[in-house]
Amino acid sequence: MTAATIAPSRSRCRVRLGVRVGLAALAVGAFSAFGTPAHARGPDGIADVAEKVIDAVVNISTSQTVEAKGGGSNSMPQLPPGSPFEEFFDDFFKNRRGPGGGSKGGDNNPPRKTNSLGSGFIIDTSGVVVTNNHVIADADEIHVILNDGTKIKAELVGVDKKTDLAVLKIKPPKPLVAVKFGDSDKLRLGDWVVAIGNPFSLGGTVTAGIVSAKNRDISSGPYDSYIQTDASINRGNSGGPLFNLDGDVIGVNTLIISPSGGSIGIGFAVPSKTVVGVVDQLRQFGELRRGWLGVRIQSVTDEIAESLNIKPARGALVAGVDDKGPAKPAGIEPGDVVVKFDGKDVKDPKDLSRVVADTAVGKEVDVVIIRKGQEESKKVTLGRLQDPEKVQAAVKTDEPAPEKPVTQKALGLDLAALSKDLRTRYKIKDSVKGVVVTNVDANSDAAEKRLSAGDVIVEVAQEAVSSGADIQKRVDQLKKDGKKSVLLLVSNGEGELRFVALSVQ
């Protein structure tokens, strides 16, 4: 029985059966003798799927040498997380230690090995295995344990930390069973799925459930697009496959949400559409070669959409363009909104990040943007995203100025022309041009949108400004035009740009 089982009460069945003969016949056909819906037990094909693929699912065993923090000969042995013996040994060895939890014997503490277990699956009979990166991260040795207990040393082919995937290679001593990938895009909410793995060191455990959600973003990485399932997934299931009822892998079980550490019916799998691309590159190059557009992007809020005459709000707003990136020579500018990339619709910044990363380096693609209310198409030849990405944090200070600058109020902001003194006070680079914010009214829309002293307003309604008077003039004109908000291009001291929409009412 799965977590999705529904069991109507018998009394309800009796009421339905007593209405009329026709309805009685219908009720008998739809319910079992025990009052259980005909499909409540799940599809009959689960056993067939498990039998077909079980030998392709493996356990992943890793060991790592770490510095011992105490214990010597009295140290507790390392057990797989969640092992039934973990609590027993924990209590046993605590009772043998002296005051402070240390060893009575005063033994030296040499480095020791720790072990952990996870799951994986074979995708090629030559010995190619897929698992999660976090299962094998920092391991000194990796072993693959087949369903019949055969233990084989594995070689690491490559990892991708951003999608938490890894590829291993083993030399099989006998013919292997492999599974193939299915199309995760074809999954529908409510479709049955089967998870097989090694929870709590219990290898070959089969659980079933349904697809609870698709394209789930839980902010664990830049390319989140998880399949959510209520199939029971626990510690040790990581890296194991999620199957459809055809026996095809449509996901790699990676995360759970649980206050207790055990399954509560909320698990996440990396979809096969993502896995296939990552695995192919790891097998070919040993690393990921992701596409790079060379822009910084942000969400298009309703206020920003109104300011840019975009209906409905959609796409990814370009807040900055890298001088050395592919977008610059293609003519993409700050303020452009990307609504389509290589023929694929872009609903939000996450969409753009994923589709760019999945596009081949060096490919020329069509990028559709909205600029000043009009759609334009640009051709961009993608570069390669360098890893690790270097992100510079803005540096700000609240040190008071020796002299108060001449300011003008607008939009709940105190504004001043940039001067050498203000650049020094707020550590603003010489390359940054505009009007500096010296104070923000705590009750204003600007404060709610997190503008702060030291920010520099570069453009108002996509026109450059150099004084507080320029800003006030643009705001007054927008009010006359009946606009409800004004779009500001704001820079920090390092020159990093973002768009902010403020109410003019």
Element (H, E) at 61: strand 57-66
Q: Is the dihedral of CA 418, 421, 425, 427 positive or negative?
A: positive
Kindly give, in sequence order, each residue whose CB lies less than 8 Å from that of residue 20, ignoring residues fewer than 6 positions away.
none
Angle at CA of residue 53, ends 253 and 2, nearest 5° = 60
Catalytic residue numbers?
134, 164, 238
CB burial of 202-228 (b: ≥16 within 10 Å; e: otherwise) equals bbebbbbbbbbebebeeeeeebbbbbb
DSSP 8-state class, residue 74:
G
Q: Tokens 């000194």 correspond to what residue?
A: 140
Nearest Cα to Cα of residue 407 among 353, 464, 471: 471
Nearest Cα to Cα of residue 172 among 158, 148, 151: 151
CB burial of 396-420 (b: ≥16 within 10 Å; e: otherwise) equals beeeeeeeebebbebbbbbbbbbee
Determine the Cα–Cα distance for residues 284 and 261; give it in Å rounded to an integer. Answer: 36
Q: What phi-psi label fits residue 57: left (phi over 0), alpha (psi between -120 and 50 degrees) or beta?
A: beta
The answer to whether the beta carbons of residues 142 and 135 sit under 8 Å apart is no
DSSP lists the bridge partners of residue 292 as: 383
Per this entry, what is the length of the chain?
Answer: 505
Determine the Cα–Cα distance for residues 144 and 120; give it in Å rounded to an integer. Answer: 8
Neighbours of 280 (CB within 10 A): 11
